[in-house]
Structure 1
Amino acid sequence: MVEDLSGDPSGPGDSTAPRLSVRQAAFIGVGSMVGAGIFALLGSAGEVAGAAVWVSFLLAGIVAVLQGYSFAKLGARYPSGGGFLEYVIRGWGDGHFTGAIAWMLLAVNAIITAMVAVSFGSYASDAFTNDDAWVKPFAVLVLLVMTALNVLGSRTVARAQTVVVVVVVGILTVFSVATLSSADRDLLAFSGYPPFADIVSSVALTFFAFLGFGVITFTAKDLADPQRQLPRAVYLALGIATVVYLGVSIGVFGTLTVQEVIDSGGTALAVAAEPTLGQAGYWMMTVTALFATAGATNSGLYPATGLADEMAARGQFPPAMGARVGRRASTGIVTTAIAAIVLAVFFDLNAIASIGSAVALVVFALVTLGHLRIRQETGANLWVLLVADLTTVVVLVSFTVTTLVDEPGTLVALLVILALSVALDLIWKSHRPDPAQAS
């Protein structure tokens, strides 16, 4: 449980249990989204969408809000420590299909965490060593530190994320105002934008920046009134993230050329701050990026314990996944941390983003497709769910046609994750004790 720092009442059944507030739950999501998106993806998205990255973020935000509607309705009806995996179970049952998706979610969680850890490594190496050889060691270091922080409990996670989000969003607001006031409109001219199909294909990358809203669903167990608070937290987090992304992306691409943004890699914000705010602005954004990406790594690890515990309790994962290492650290978070370290060390930033986006789009589309089967229980609007799934599928197909075909390594990795998820489910369930015989 997490201490309620804003006076929200505790839930029924335990008047003394510390709880998360709406703000704290939302900030866990914002911390995950902002660190993964605006600091890590501007260069990658710029390669595809050019100066129209802000349009890409806007479209991705619309898709995320549509999916957020589906998740909020499901979360209000089925609050669970297992987060949106509970929604898969409700929509698709408790069989092999759900088991495979559960392993995929564990993989997505590790990918998101690795992505932001590598971004942290880029900023840390630039700030302290100016040597790219230190990117991966710094990424591993932040993963180890944030894993330890999560082991201390969700109370620590919530307090850390509150501080991080307030500082990061505040500084990004200053950055946006400063860069927008001096932006070069010629750099943002519509005439320089690539074809709309390219912008749509880039949405799969920028949508990655919104994946953190899924983390909020795992806070249901720590909310006093999840039916009311979870939807509010989802919408609040998506609203904050969308506004931040639009302001920052317009400011960056109104200050630097597309090629300068691409060449800057993961440090584009710091480079864009320098012309307006000077060397102090460069260092301010570098420090902000370190806080944001460290916070995103922190919140990215947060769902691992609840996901693994819930799936182990349901028999979808082996019991060992719900066990504790050293009586404190969950096997789920240890497994996620190890997988994230492997990804951070052996994959580059773009590859990690592509894999994470593709897998997440598949999972989100399946969650909302399953929602259609139970929408009478959640009270969700049929047309909103259909549009949410349609837009997600369009982005996924566009991404596959325009991006994955040019990245065979990423495509192979995606197929391996899908196949491995199915294989792990089949192997475990072929050896799982029969509950009927056990009783």
Structure 2
Amino acid sequence: MKNDSNSDNKISLREAISIGIGGMVGGGIFAVLGLAVSLAQGGTPIAFLFAGIIASLTAYSYSKLSVAFPDRGGTVKFVNQGFGKTVFSGTINNLLWVSYIIMLSLYASAFGSYAPNLLELTGNKTYDSHMYLSAIIVVATAINYYSIKVVSKIESYAVVVKLIILLGFIIIGIYGLFGNPNTKQLAMTNWENPLLLLTGGMVIFVAYEGFELIANAAPDIINPKKNIPKAYNYSVWFVVFLYIIIAIVTVGSLPFNEIAKAEDYVLAEAAKPMLGKIGFSIITVAALISTFSAINASLYGGSRVSFELAEDDELPHHLTSMLWNQPIGLLITAVLTLVLANALELESISTAGSAGFLLIFAVVNYIAFKQSTSIKGNKLIPFLGFIGCSAAFITLIIQQYTSNLIGVIVIISIILLCFILEFLFKKFHSK
């Protein structure tokens, strides 16, 4: 193994920004855009802005903590730094692992929604989406076991491909908005019920999850005091701008009834008015590449989180054991993803994922607020991030309680289960 001080292992600002953008522009936007439009209607761009503001406040807290406590454990390190190795910190860190599994389920579900459309265009027989999402989880798991280098190569190429396609979609889409009668839908923002706008932003908050991966790379970033904050800020605001423009193009291209009909693959459908079947195919391919690369990377990340938690005595030490040269947590993560992706609908998965990360980010913001003096940070920004994440979490639970009770039951059950299991483990482990 090379020494960490070796310049070959160092990460430049550009590479750090790529990590943040690649983490966010995964399968999230392809999976949840239709869901956001169904909730926020013409106010979808505003909903993405709401979610982006909360993400940017949280990114500030992450940047300060990453500079003060650079560690490959990232979020796990920050939570333990703020609360010690307690039942509470163990609960939050275990929730992080489960949230990775929920995100994997979301990406797999999106892959399962887009794959049949591509095969229909080629004239081949299509199968149930569950077959595709299950197959891609199995394939990605096999690749992770085969070679981590292959995983990183897939991710590096996928980031470039999906950004080129999405930027092309935006450029052509903006041109296509001129003279399109559907652009009047952008004025249909329901200001009388701002709760729906906020909820629309919170349900799709998972589309911004991923910038925290910069924290895991913090020890290797060149000139960290200067480049870490830049990496967070540049990547988050680039993605906020990207998502808002994508939302504008989508809402302005298709009538709401067509968006609702193609909710699970709306981005591909939005390319049809501009480029016909070719546009539909290109976006579908981009979605498949993005979700596949996101599954690959998240499987790797999830297995590493479980390994680190086991090393920190927050999960049983059996999870530090290896199977085929990879942590046993990789297989466990894959199996749980298969179960969750096949058991839940897309909205329930998205709600659970967004709620999980909002709660985790609220805790991280609180830690940055509490330790603002030692990390040389502004006290107000982390406090606003904490309030924003907490309020968004509560709002999401309240609104989804009436429209998506299963999603609410899933996330509350997961949080309680993480707490109970951690409490029992700590009690047993202390003996």
Report the equivalent of 1:137.
131
Root mean square deviation of aligned Cα: 2.3
> Which residue does 1:55 correspond to in 2?
46
Give the equivalent residue in structure 1 for 2:176.
182
In the alignment, residue 256 of structure 1 is paired with which amino acid?
Answer: L
Greater CA drift, 28-37 or 138-147 = 28-37
Q: Which residue does the alignment assign to 1:204? A: 202
Q: 2:99 maps to what in 1?
A: 108
Report the CA distance shift for 1:47/1:138 in structure 2 as closer, same or farther (over 3 A). Answer: same
Equivalent runs, 1:389-404 vs 2, <5 Å: 389-404=386-401
Distance (Å, rounded) in 1 between the aligned partners of 2:87 and 2:321 = 22
CA distance in 1, matches of 2:224, 2:142: 27
Corresponding letter in the other structure for 1:321: L
Q: Normalising by structure 2, report the TM-score.
A: 0.91
Separation in 2 of the partners of 1:191 and 1:229? 38
Structure 2 CA distance for aligned equivalents of residues 342 and 124 of structure 1: 19
How far the C-alpha of 1:228 sits from its partner, in A, is 4.8
2:35 is matched with 44
Counterparts of 1:248 and 1:47 in 2: how far apart (Å)? 15
Match of 1:318 among 316, 319, 339: 316
The answer to whether residue 257 in structure 2 is matched with residue 263 in structure 1 is no
* Aligned twin of 1:6: none
Structure 2 equivalent of residue 157 of structure 1:
151
TM-fit CA distance, 1:179: 1.3
Inter-CA distance 397–131: structure 2 relative to 1 (3 Å threshold)? farther
8 Å CA contact 1:273, 1:282 repeated in 2: yes
Cα distance in 2 for partners of 1:216, 1:340 equals: 24
Q: Which runs of 5+ in 1 are unaligned?
A: 3-9, 435-439
1:70 aligns with 2:70: no
Contact 2:106–2:350 (CA<8 Å) still a contact in 1?
A: yes
Residue identity in the other structure for 1:51? G
Partner-residue secondary structure (3-state), 2:253: coil
Q: Which residue of 1 aligns with 2:270?
A: 272
SS at match of 1:40: helix
**1: distance between equivalents of 2:329 and 2:302?**
5
- Structure 1 residues 259-268 or 245-254, which shifts more? 259-268
**Who is 2:236 aligned against?**
238
3-state DSSP class of the match of 2:27? helix
- Contact 2:72–2:216 (8 Å) recurs in 1: yes
Q: Contact 2:40–2:189 (CA<8 Å) still a contact in 1?
A: no
Letter in 1 for 2:176: S
Aligned to 2:376: 379
Match of 1:94 in 2: 85
Whole-angstrom distance in 2 between the partners of 1:179 and 1:310 = 44
Gapped regions of structure 2 (runs ≥ 5)? none
Select the residue among 330, 335, 352 that pairs with 1:355.
Answer: 352
CA offsets, 1:349-393, max 9 Å, x none? 111001111111111111211222211111110111111111112
Whole-Å Cα distance in 2 between the matches of residues 207 and 154 of structure 1? 28
CA contact (8 A) 1:32 1:297 kept: no
Letter in 1 for 2:17: A
> Partners of 2:147 and 2:226 in 1: how far apart?
24
Matching of residue 172 in structure 1 with residue 169 in structure 2: no
- Which of 315, 331, 341 aligns to 2:328? It is 331
What's the TM-score, normalizing by structure 1? 0.90
Map Cα deviations across residues 143-169 of structure 1 (whole Å, 9 max, x no partner): 222233334565443332221111111
Identify the range of structure 1 (107-116 vs 199-208) with the bigger mean alpha-carbon deviation.
Answer: 199-208
Matching residue within 220, 244, 247 for 1:249:
247
Tell me how far apart the structure 2 counterparts of residues 332 and 188 of structure 1 sit (CA, whole Å).
Answer: 45
- Separation in 2, partners of 1:110, 1:354: 13
Task: Kindly state the Cα deviation for residue 86 of structure 1 after the two structures are TM-superposed.
Answer: 0.8
Matching of residue 85 in structure 1 with residue 76 in structure 2: yes
Task: State how far apart, in whole Å, the 2-side matches of 1:270 and 1:27 are.
Answer: 24
Per the alignment, in what secondary structure is the counterpart of residue 431 of structure 1?
A: helix
Aligned counterpart in structure 2 of residue 422 of structure 1, from 415, 419, 428: 419
Matched, 1:125 2:116: yes
- CA displacement at 1:236 relative to structure 2: 3.1
Q: Give the residue type in structure 1 aligned to 2:262.
A: S
Residues 121-151 of structure 1, C-alpha deviations (whole Å, 9 max, x = no match): 1111221258774311211222222233334
Letter in 2 for 1:313: E
Aligned partner letter, 2:204 = T
Partner amino acid, structure 1, of 2:54: V
Aligned to 1:182, the other structure's residue is in SS state helix
Task: Give the stretch that moved more between structures: 230-239 or 340-349.
Answer: 230-239
- 2:212 counterpart SS class: helix
Describe the shift of the 1:242–1:133 C-alpha distance in structure 2 as closer, same or farther (beyond 3 A).
same
| Residues 288-297 or 146-155, more deviating | 146-155
Q: Secondary structure at the match of 1:91?
A: helix
Matched residue of 1:254: which SS? helix
SS of equivalent to 1:164: helix
Q: How far did 1:312 drift?
A: 1.8
SS in structure 1 opposite 2:56? helix
> Given residue 186 of structure 1, which amino acid in structure 2 is its aligned partner?
K
Q: Which moved more, 1:68-77 or 1:140-149?
A: 140-149
Asked whether the equivalents of residues 43 and 264 of structure 1 are also in contact (C-alpha less than 8 Å), the reply is yes
Q: What is the aligned length?
A: 424
Further displaced range: 227-236 or 335-344: 227-236
Distance 1:141 1:28 in 2: 27
Q: CA deviation at 1:191?
A: 5.8
Whole-angstrom CA distance in 2 between matches of 1:121 and 1:221: 36
Other structure's SS at 1:38 match? helix
Distance 1:370 1:192 in 2: 35
Contact 1:27 1:161 in 2 (8 A): no
Which residue of the partner structure matches residue 365 of structure 1? 362
Matches of 1:54 and 1:295, distance apart in 2: 26
Supply the AA of the counterpart residue of 1:258. Answer: F
